[in-house]
Amino acid sequence: MINERVLNTLIALLLLVVPLFAWQLDEPFIITLATKAAILALAGVGLNLALGYGGLVSFGHATFFGLGGYTMGILASHAQSFTPIMESPFLIDGTKSMPIIWLVAIVISAFVAFIIGLLSLRTTGVYFIMVTLAFGQMLYYFSISWPAYGGEDGLSIYVRNEFPGLNTLDPIQFFGICYVLLMVVIFFMSKLNSSSFGLALNSARQNSERVQTVGISPFRLQLVAFTISGAVTGLAGALFADLNRFISPTMFSWHTSGEIMVFIILGGAARLYGPVAGAAIFILLEHVLGGLSEFWHIFLGAILLLVVLFAKGGLIGSVSKKAASHG
Amino acid sequence: MSLLELEGITASYGASQALFGVDLTVDEGEVVALMGRNGMGKSTTINVICRLLKNQSGTARFAGQDLSSYPSYRAARLGLGLVPEGRRCFSSLTVWENLMASARKGEWDLNRVGRLFPRLQERLDQYAGSLSGGEQQMLSIGRALMTNPRILILDEATEGLAPVIRQEIWKAISELKKDTGLSILVVDKTIKELALVADKAVILERGRTVWNGQFQSLDATITDQYLGV
């Protein structure tokens, strides 16, 4: 058994060192893979707050991933065609600035997560899963039937968005941006989880009645957690769109929701670095197994089955004990 | 005006009625024993007070507020500190995390709970699931105190514990009474131990208050009639 903090540090270092080596060896493809892993990990870190810590099995986090992506796509496409998004009642222009895009993606995702949470958190269990899935599918079909931004074909953004002082088209620099964002969000999550909010959320997952008798509303806790969770996954969506310079309705599809969930199950639910480990393994498998066979998902399925049956805490859970947040 | 007042409370679990008229008052600084045989409505009464169950008729007032419109978590914020039957600690959290999860500002903090239960102080980083039954009970009381309640409600706080641990918990309860003047509503079956702390007693029989008075005036005829087996 390895101490969880040590393991987390190792994972964080590995995710940093691999692309740095690739950069030295001039292997931009590996840097891009690492960037993808970091972004998907971020999406997973978002979902982990709701699913892992809050026990809210959201099967609709693609909603926020897609919203983040489309926020980027819409803002950037208007900026590249020099047409305003709207002129009345007030003028809104597109933008190519990453920080602004991130901020808008976070705000929109948080707002939509709040509304979805408000409705879906009145249900539990399988109904909660279905309500969150329904919202995701609603936006999926909406994005398919919305020709202004590519409809079913998706939408290409020709040049990656800008970040002050950096050349975002250089793979290692863009990786740096994604990695730093991931670390900032993980730091925020670690603080959140050991705060009284995080502890109460954890308690509410175990016994919501007992939480009420100490004066805490589980509904409010879960609503806040779901909102933050959606906002983080939305930010990941915006980065993912920037990585590919392309958005499509697939970002909203339930496959995407499922994949984000798979990162958490592979890596370890309610573990700070669970989604990071999970996303990294997923990318590795996709690359290695995908090279062997087009049907690599079959192998992924088998691995997932083994993890669920024999390593319930995911990768992190099976090699390290849970670290206490105090002491 | 009493701190906690129940008047003519009736309540049901679905179709089966459990309470047929419970009256009970707890004054500021008073320790009241809620007694009765198994299945007479003690825990149901507590569930009504904590709004885990809605009463059908009668009024429940706490600190001057009618509780009927309060959801459970808001009732708790008025100052109801429940120590539930069966302890129910959050087993995957450590002792420290259990206490911090429920903390609200006031006189009671980690240090003070640690002074009341030194065993908890020594085990702050241990998972609640790995504690002994007695330690979990102490944690459950500590958790309720961390909310800085105006009344502490103990539902079968010493049930199923070893005699030594029971003594320790009763000692803590009498310390609470002596040092803090906290109001306490305590459900228990052992008259001898209740006698150490209780000022008043309320006896329930078939979901009704059948006796209500000073604890000292409980005599053998009453206890035999309502509490004997």
Question: Tens of pLDDT along B75-86?
Answer: 999 999 999 888
Between the two ends of chain B, the Cα-to-Cα distance in Å is 36
Position A81 in a domain: yes
Position A167 in a domain: yes
Amino acid at A18: V
Report CA torsion sign: B42, B93, A217, B181.
Answer: positive
How many other C-beta atoms lie within 10 A of the C-beta of residue B11? 22
Q: Is A212 on the interface with B (CB under 8 A)?
A: yes
User: CB–CB of B101/B93 below 8 Å?
Assistant: yes
Rounded-to-10 torsion of CA A82, A85, A87, A88: 180
Q: Is A200 on the interface with B (CB under 8 A)?
A: yes
Amino acid at B199: D
**Residue in A206, A210, A216 closest to B84 by CB:** A210
Q: Is B101 on the interface with A (CB under 8 A)?
A: yes
For residue B103, what is the nearest residue in chain A, using CA coordinates?
A: A196
Q: Residue B207 has what pLDDT?
A: 94
For residue B76, what is the nearest residue in chain A, using CA coordinates?
A: A215
Q: What is the pLDDT of residues A30-49, one digit of tens each?
A: 999 999 999 999 999 999 99
- Substitution target in A197, A212, A214, A220 with the highest count of B β-carbons within 10 Å is A214
For residue A197, what is the nearest residue in chain B, using CA coordinates?
A: B101
Chain A residues close to B50, C-beta within 8 Å: 213
Q: Is A269 on the interface with B (CB under 8 A)?
A: no
Q: Is A203 on the interface with B (CB under 8 A)?
A: yes
Position A79 in a domain: yes
Q: Is the ipTM of this complex over 0.95?
A: no
Distance CA A307, CA B24 (A): 54
| Interacting residues of A321 by C-beta distance below 8 A, sequence separation 6+ | A1, A3, A4
pLDDT of B229 higher than 70: no
> How big is chain A by its Cα radius of gyration, in Å?
19
Distance CA A44, CA A26 (A): 29
The whole-number average pLDDT for the span A313-324 is 80
pLDDT of A190 higher than 70: yes
Report CB contact under 8 Å: B104, A215. yes
Q: Is B82 on the interface with A (CB under 8 A)?
A: yes
Distance CA A104, CA A125 (A): 31
Amino acid at B88: R
| Interacting residues of A246 by C-beta distance below 8 A, sequence separation 6+ | A154, A155, A156, A157
Report CB contact under 8 Å: B91, A206. yes
The whole-number average pLDDT for the span B94-99 is 93
pLDDT of A97 higher than 90: yes
Q: Residue A324 has what pLDDT?
A: 54
pLDDT of A104 higher than 90: yes
**Residue in A203, A213, A214 closest to B93 by CB:** A203
**Residue in B52, B96, B102 closest to A214 by CB:** B102
Chain A residues close to B144, C-beta within 8 Å: 214
CB-neighbour burial class of residue A294 (10 A; exposed 0-12, middle 13-18, buried 19+): exposed
Rounded-to-10 torsion of CA A140, A146, A149, A150: 80
> How big is chain B by its Cα radius of gyration, in Å?
17
Position A327 in a domain: no
pLDDT of B139 higher than 50: yes
Domain count, chain A: 1
Q: Is B93 on the interface with A (CB under 8 A)?
A: yes
Give the minimum alpha-carbon distance from A277 to chain B in angstroms, rounded to a whole number.
22
Distance CA A170, CA A149 (A): 27
Position A41 in a domain: yes
pLDDT of A322 higher than 80: no
Domains and CATH numbers, chain B: 4-226 (3.40.50.300)
**Residue in A203, A216, A326 closest to B96 by CB:** A326
Distance CA A303, CA A243 (A): 28
Position A304 in a domain: yes
pLDDT of B128 higher than 80: yes
Please state the pTM of the whole predicted model: 0.88
Chains A–B, number of C-beta pairs less than 8 Å apart: 86
Q: Residue A208 has what pLDDT?
A: 85
Give the phi and the psi of residue B82 in degrees, each rounded to 5: -95, 130
Give the phi and the psi of residue A151 in degrees, each rounded to 5: 50, -135
How many other C-beta atoms lie within 10 A of the C-beta of residue B47? 25
Position A326 in a domain: no
Give the phi and the psi of residue B102 in degrees, each rounded to 5: -110, 0
For residue A206, what is the nearest residue in chain B, using CA coordinates?
A: B90
Report CB contact under 8 Å: A324, B90. no
Average pLDDT, chain A: 93
- Substitution target in B80, B88, B100 with the highest count of A β-carbons within 10 Å is B100
pLDDT of A327 higher than 50: no
| Token pair for A137 | 């599918």
The whole-number average pLDDT for the span B31-53 is 93
Lowest mean pLDDT among A51-60, A208-217, A251-260, B14-23: A208-217
Give the minimum alpha-carbon distance from A122 to chain B in angstroms, rounded to a whole number.
15
Q: Which one-letter DSSP state was computed for residue A161?
A: P
Residue B154's DSSP bridge partners are B83, B186
Distance CA A284, CA A252 (A): 23
**Residue in B52, B92, B127 closest to A206 by CB:** B92
Residue-number span of the structural domain to which A279 is assigned: 2-321
pLDDT of A326 higher than 80: no
Position A23 in a domain: yes
Residue with tokens 């002074």: B115
Helices assigned H by DSSP within chain A: 4-24, 28-48, 62-81, 98-120, 125-144, 171-194, 196-206, 208-213, 218-244, 254-267, 274-292, 296-310, 314-319
- CATH number for the domain harbouring residue A264: 1.10.3470
Report CB contact under 8 Å: B52, A212. yes
Chain A 47-106, CB below 8 Å of chain B: which residues? none
The whole-number average pLDDT for the span B86-103 is 88
- Substitution target in A4, A213, A223 with the highest count of B β-carbons within 10 Å is A213
Q: Residue B221 has what pLDDT?
A: 86
pLDDT band at B143 (very low <50, low <70, confident <90, very high): very high
Q: Residue A118 has what pLDDT?
A: 96
How many other C-beta atoms lie within 10 A of the C-beta of residue A313? 18
Q: Is A268 on the interface with B (CB under 8 A)?
A: no
The whole-number average pLDDT for the span A148-160 is 91
What's the number of CA atoms in the CB half-sphere (13 Å) around residue A326? 19
Chain B residues close to A324, C-beta within 8 Å: 94, 96-97, 125, 127
Using alpha carbons, select from A268, A277, A263 the residue that is nearest to residue A313: A268
Q: Is B144 on the interface with A (CB under 8 A)?
A: yes
Report CB contact under 8 Å: B76, A325. no
Q: Is B103 on the interface with A (CB under 8 A)?
A: yes
